[in-house]
Amino acid sequence: VPALVALERRSRASVLANIVAAARLRDAVILLAEVDALYDDRGELASDHRDALASIPGVVIATTSGRGHVELHRPQLSITMPRMELVDRDRAWTFALQHHGGQPTDAAELAGRYVIGPGAIAEVVGEAQRYAAAAGTPLDRDALEASVGRRLTVRLGTYGTVVHRKALFSELVLPDDVVDTLHDMVAMVRERTKILEQWGYQRHLGISRGVSGLFSGEPGTGKTMAASVVASELGLELVRIDLSAVVSKYVGETEKNLGKIFDEAQDAHAMLLFDEADSLFGKRTELKSAQDRFANLEVNYILQRMETFDGVSVLTTNAEAAIDPALQRRLNFRIRFPEPEPDEREQLWRRLLPPQAGLHEALDFAALADKFDMTGGYIKNAVVRAAVIAARAGRALTADDLWAGAHHEYVEMGKVMPQLAR
Ligand SMILES: Nc1ncnc2c1ncn2[C@@H]1O[C@H](COP(=O)(O)OP(=O)(O)OP(=O)(O)O)[C@@H](O)[C@H]1O
Ligand SMILES: [Mg+2]
């Protein structure tokens, strides 16, 4: 249907007439796939579309992935395909894997991880098998994960990207209470899946099994990284939403875009990351202009959807104060990421400098950490900057380069060098 609607009006009518004639010749039923394309934003049918629908004789089958009712203006029977339960997904994965020469032993885990239907499962496994065959590699877990990721990327279009590089708990440098809370978040997701799906609570009580988090803190304190840790710990695909692409200047469009993202993520069982939500607030954190207030409406919409979302979602911000506290409370986890203390900064320097640099023995990390009060993100930049300085000079990295890199970042942060501040 979307392809048909895209045609010019006159050719549309003749194409449809041909289709109807062909169907009659073969005694076939017409299937209108993605019929929603006929309707406008308010769910109304334009009159020529209505006439076209009326002109199709006999039985018509229309499909939609939308959640609402579609009125075809002819006697109609609506069937809602139920969401597949864990056991059904398990069976679909087992079947598809057997069919394509994969390991059916992976089925249970895949079924728990991805809430997708049997058609999607068959497509994912088939595609993974073709890719693996072309690359001469086995149809293993990695091949299947990559295939799910590609499918999701295509469906999200320009709004989001699948984050492939995910960090581990062991790489985080954060106070124990913050790490503990992150572990709680992971545990809550695991337990909920078990309780709601295996014990049948979801069907019975209609509880949402979503788990949501608000990560706030200064730039570079590890918010984005922590979200990727949670995703990797849970074995979930992580989708980072580009809010600047989603936010439209047309009122109402943004919510439609966001709604689509939540639906896609729900289907793919992906974790959603609304990163740097403050890009919605403009520069200032206090809400002064009408535009800022408008932006806050969008954030409030995201927070509301997060509350009812059936998966894991995280919003990160530098400007926690700009978000309505009443809405904040409705999210399951609100985690404040503190700026690192000197000993944490020392650890960050140690970890972020690659071991191959060969400087770990010689370097006074404590002195660097002591001198430069900066977050992990800036330390990472400083390490990269130092490598650039060394590469340009055509020699190996030295301790001086790290000091110089740190200095550059410090100035760019808008801070004054400690010894100059006197
Ligand atoms: N607490 C931390 N532990 C370990 N590494 C960190 C930490 N914080 C920052 N880093 C390093 O700095 C990089 C940038 O951090 P990250 O993007 O997670 O910060 P952020 O809080 O999301 O910042 P922003 O508010 O600017 O988006 C990380 O990829 C990581 O290498
Ligand atoms: Mg970030």
pLDDT digits (tens, 9 = 90+) for 269-308: 789 999 878 766 644 444 455 555 556 677 778 888 888 7
Ligand sitting nearest the alpha carbon of 227: 1
DSSP for residue 330: T
Helix, strand or coil, per DSSP, at residue 260 = helix
Encoded amino acid at 193, one letter: T
Q: Within 6 Å (CB) of ligand 1, which residues are found? A: 171-174, 217, 219-225, 276, 316, 318, 348, 352, 376-377, 380
Helix, strand or coil, per DSSP, at residue 106 = helix
To test the pocket of ligand 1, the residue of 221, 314, 343 to mutate (highest count of ligand atoms within 8 Å of its CB) is 221
Residue 272: the pLDDT is 93
Residues 310 and 239 grouped into a single domain:
yes
Residues 230 and 255 grouped into a single domain:
yes
Answer with the one of 321, 337, 353 that is the final residue of a domain: 337
To test the pocket of ligand 1, the residue of 170, 223, 224, 225 to mutate (highest count of ligand atoms within 8 Å of its CB) is 225
Ligand 1 midpoint to CA 282 (Å) = 22
287 falls within a domain:
yes
Residues 287 and 349 grouped into a single domain:
no
Ligand sitting nearest the alpha carbon of 375: 1
- How far from chain centre, in Å, is Cα 154? 13
Contact 307, 212 (CB under 8 A): yes
Contact 137, 143 (CB under 8 A): yes
190 falls within a domain:
yes
pLDDT digits (tens, 9 = 90+) for 193-232: 667 666 666 656 555 668 899 999 999 999 999 999 999 8
Answer with the one of 27, 47, 62 that is the final residue of a domain: 62
Residue 269: the pLDDT is 73
Contact 63, 34 (CB under 8 A): yes
Ligand 2 midpoint to CA 341 (Å) = 19
Residue 283: the pLDDT is 40
Residue 136: the pLDDT is 92
User: What is the residue-wise DSSP string for 133-183?
Assistant: HHHT----HHHHHHHHHHHHHHHHTTSEEEE-----GGG----HHHHHHHH
Answer with the one of 308, 337, 366 that is the final residue of a domain: 337
What's the Rg (C-alpha) of the chain?
A: 26
Domain range for 94 is 86-156
Ligand 1 midpoint to CA 168 (Å) = 13
Q: How far apart are CA 213 and CA 273, in angstroms?
A: 10
Q: How far apart are CA 344 and CA 273, in angstroms?
A: 26
Residue 291: the pLDDT is 53
Residues 209 and 253 grouped into a single domain:
yes
Contact 243, 280 (CB under 8 A): yes
Beta carbons within 10 angstroms of residue 331's beta carbon: 19
Residue 402: the pLDDT is 93
Query: Could you list the pLDDT tens digit for every one of the 422 residues in the chain?
Result: 888 888 888 888 888 889 989 999 999 999 998 888 888 777 788 888 888 888 888 899 999 877 678 888 888 999 988 777 888 989 999 999 999 988 888 888 888 777 778 888 999 999 999 999 999 998 988 888 888 888 877 777 778 888 877 899 999 999 999 999 999 999 988 887 667 666 666 656 555 668 899 999 999 999 999 999 999 898 888 999 877 777 776 767 778 888 888 888 877 778 999 987 876 664 444 445 555 555 667 777 888 888 878 889 999 988 887 777 877 888 889 999 999 999 999 999 999 998 887 787 888 999 999 999 999 999 999 999 999 999 999 998 999 999 999 999 988 887 766 554 43
- 406 phi/psi in degrees, rounded to 5: -60, -40
Q: How far apart are CA 410 and CA 406, in angstroms?
A: 6
Q: 419: which residues sit within 8 A by CB, 6+ positions away?
A: none
